[in-house]
Amino acid sequence: MGKTTGFLEYKREIGPVRSEEERIKDFKEFHGSLEFEEQRKQAARCMECGIPFCQAGKMISGMMSGCPLHNLVPEVNDLVYRGRLEQAYQRLAVTHSFPEFTSRVCPALCEAACTCGLHDEPVCTKENEKTVIEYAYEHGLVKETVPEVRTGKKVAVIGSGPSGLAAAQLLNSRGHEVTVYERRDRVGGLLRYGIPNMKLDKSIIDRRIKLMEEAGIKFVVNTDVGNDIKADKLRKEYDSIILACGASNPRDIDAPGRDANGIRFAVDFLSEVTKTLLDSDFTDVPYGLVKDKDVIIIGGGDTGNDCVGSSIRLGAKSVTQLEMMPKPSCERMPSNPWPEWPRVLKTDYGQEEAIYKFGHDPRIYQTTVKEFIKDKKGNLKEVVLVSLESVKDEKTGRMKMVPVSGTEKTVPCQLVLIAAGFLGSQKYVTDDFKVELDGRTNVKTDAGQYATSQKNVYAAGDMHIGQSLVVRAIAEGRAAAKAVDEALMGYTNL
């Protein structure tokens, strides 16, 4: 696929990125695209490797390798190289529900498993995908399937994040009557309120939702299933129900002073920032949340990085990001061979902006908060940091990070954002539906299946597999839709 000698002739090149100086002044997307002729050269680098790990989507050493959607990456790359973008979109749409989302926010599992990346830099599959989907929108090619015949079956999807949207899309195309319930005021779930606008412009979500509504999918917002409407009522009204509520139970930090004012969960902070911007059409920037404050972010993942970028845009005096684990190596270790996901040091956009703004990387490794210190009014004023070391647990034999006595350090801080991950589904939802849970409070199903312990109730996305990626959530939604369709109809052609 691609040009036979393309990987020898062309070096990897990505689209233009606005400078840190410019982009921290607003919440607009900052990663642009190459001119099409240049993008064709990037697609030409796909090297006809014979065994395309990029599309495998397999777990290796506990990490996903290759695309979970099993996009036929070499075929799409070849069509981009040949300038046949309409066919490239048709090929991509067979396996993928929302390329416009993943081409912006996915960490590109396909590229990490690219054979070209074994000794050189991988093919720009993510940007090729963005070129395809944006061309398709510009030329009116993106259309949701409007079924000619309805089946008479009704399905409720609880949650409008990527897994819920993907499930709704396929079930509607099959002819089922689909209603999506969302507890927030806008559709999108994690896509809407968990990812900042500069990473995923919300108009990108809106244009897809408009198409889905026109195809017959009904969206009900401001409705919290489990509270505003109960499971028993939905069971009577719908033939099947898919729980796609996400892993929205955030992991907390247990330390003295946790009740201080100024300690927030990262997802709540990001949601408030985005909602304020959207409600005001970006005229009201919520500087008051952060301006002139020393901010400490607990957690080193994508959400932590998003908090870094958002805090800088909102005028933080300083930003520090704490990571419990040791600093990763700059290159793959022998214990982490290709095509495993590379456990190497990555500097994301938020860290780049912090380096520009403050002159140093905001991350401090092997460190956590030992104590939160309040002033007389109960407001957070300082935190006590402590270093960590890896020690083997005598009972389990596993390594764990424990505080190192004598390494305590007190630093000024008026805002802490906890981005330490999520523990699983929220109890009020799972209790209402009476579904069985696993040891991590995810909704339990048989391995590789989506049916829960309750008849006609299914689970998909983070609520099913735990906190993960948008691309995996989409794959989960598509697979759950197939399971529901087969149960309703006796067979499935999804």
Tell me the mean pLDDT in the region 375-400: 93
Query: Which class is 6-138 in CATH?
Result: mainly alpha
**Per residue in 144-180, pLDDT tens?**
999 999 999 999 999 999 999 999 999 999 999 999 9
Q: What angle do CA 157, 204, 196 make, to 5 degrees?
A: 90
CATH superfamily of domain region 154-248+423-489 = FAD/NAD(P)-binding domain (3.50.50.60)
Beta-carbon contacts of 401 under 8 Å, excluding residues fewer than 6 positions away, are: 324, 325, 366, 368, 388, 389, 390, 391
CB 78 within 8 A of CB 1: yes
- Tell which residue, 17, 66, 13, has the closest CA to residue 44: 13
User: What is the model's pLDDT at position 1?
Assistant: 64
- Separation of alpha carbons 290 and 171, rounded Å: 43
* 319-351 pLDDT tens trace: 999 999 999 999 999 999 999 999 999 999 999
Mean per-residue pLDDT, 89-108: 98
Distance between CA atoms of 251 and 418, rounded to whole angstroms?
8
pLDDT (tens digit, 9 = 90+) per residue, 53-63? 999 999 999 99
The per-residue pLDDT for 395 is: 84
Distance from C-alpha of 10 to C-alpha of 38, rounded to nearest angstrom: 10
In terms of CATH architecture, what is 263-418?
Answer: 3-Layer(bba) Sandwich (3.50)
Q: What is the C-alpha separation between 94 and 69, in angstroms, rounded?
A: 10
Residue 132 Ramachandran class (φ > 0 left, ψ -120 to 50 alpha, else beta): alpha
Q: Is the pLDDT of residue 52 over 80?
A: yes
- Given a contact cutoff of 8 angstroms between Cβ atoms, the answer to whether 245 and 452 are in contact is no
pLDDT tens, 248-299? Answer: 889 999 999 999 999 999 999 999 999 999 999 999 999 999 999 999 999 9
- Cβ–Cβ < 8 Å for 316, 307: no
HSE toward the beta carbon, residue 244, CA cutoff 13 A: 38
Which residues lie below 8 Å from residue 491, measured CB to CB, with a gap of 6+? none
Whole-number Cα distances in Å, 409 to 30, 385, 457? 37, 5, 50
- pTM to 2 decimals? 0.96
Print burial letters for 247-266: b (CB count within 10 Å at least 16), e (below 16).
bbebbeeebebeebebbbbb
Burial (Cβ within 10 Å: 0-12, 13-18, ≥19) of residue 184:
middle
Instruction: Tell me the domain boundaries of the chain.
Output: 6-138, 154-248+423-489, 263-418
Find how far residue 145's CA is from the centre of its chain: 26
Q: How confident is the model at residue 48 (pLDDT cuts 50, 70, 90)?
A: confident
Q: Are 209 and 221 in contact (CB under 8 A)?
A: no
Local confidence band at 50 (pLDDT 50, 70, 90 cut-offs): confident
To the nearest whole percent, how much of the chain has pLDDT over 70? 100
Question: Which residue type occupies 209?
Answer: I
Task: Name the band, by pLDDT with cuts 50, 70 and 90, for residue 394.
Answer: confident
Is 226's pLDDT higher than 70?
yes
Q: Which long-range contacts (CB under 8 A, 24 or more apart) does 267-273 make?
A: 267/193, 267/194, 267/303, 267/419, 269/307, 269/310, 269/417, 270/193, 270/194, 270/195, 270/196, 270/303, 270/306, 270/307, 270/310, 271/193, 271/194, 273/196, 273/310, 273/314
Domains 6-138 and 154-248+423-489 share a fold: no
463-484: per-residue pLDDT in tens?
999 999 999 999 999 999 999 9
In the predicted structure, residue 234 carries a pLDDT above the cut 80: yes
